Structure 1
């Protein structure tokens, strides 16, 4: 037979894959998903509501926190009317007051201090008044800024600006 060329055998290299990086990435993904699942769980806390009986609601104003709410109505010509509680059963009746140190600031500081003292006696320190600011369409921008400045000066953190008036509040602003 003729000399057949010999088959050249290739040298086999060992094929080895380094999985160190893959293991690191998989552990990072596991940790990531464990943390996101834990953070995605809804957190709940207890909500302490007052007793809902007619006597407590009628005499102490405790059902909706009316004793903590102060409403400020801003009208035209620097008109400022304030009341505590609800308008149909006010704790402090509506009255016209002036802006500044001797007016609204003194009232807010006094009411906030009395509510803070009262809530500290009940075992809930730090719960001051809630101010509801209602600027009318005739109110100028300066009056709204002045009231917001008073919130900062008196250190009242809980306040809301609402532009919805009840018919009684509209009549109150128009009458005074």
Structure 2
């Protein structure tokens, strides 16, 4: 009898509020925490996925560029080519997440689940939503391995297709 192999999920961090730190008062700085720091606050995921993480960028969503998009595409292509993961989760700022998700939907092959997630409140804010969103994104990525349905956004307990998602404030 062979052992059960967990899905391999690679977390690629790009910054945003999910990696932001709130200062005294109401201001915050986006993209301050590393991928490892974001994963360190999650509950034990050892029964869900074999996790690895990389920092691709650490910028606020307003500073997302075409060059960073290309870095993401190239890194995901490398992950596929070298069979490094079964699914990818990308942490991202919410202001431009929908644009990045749509671009990735067009630029990446649909044979690898790619899940974007972020947060509306900084990591150290009261009621931070980032840890739950990241936890959910990893679970969806791990479950999506057999489905291979391309790019999605997971936020606030919902799964959104990259083609149809829009941030509304």
TM class, shorter-length: 0.3 to 0.5
TM-score normalised by L of structure 1? 0.35
Relative to its length, the structure with more strand (as a share) is: 2
Please identify which structure carries the higher helix content.
1
Bigger Cα Rg: 1
Using structure 2 for the length normalisation, give the TM-score.
0.36
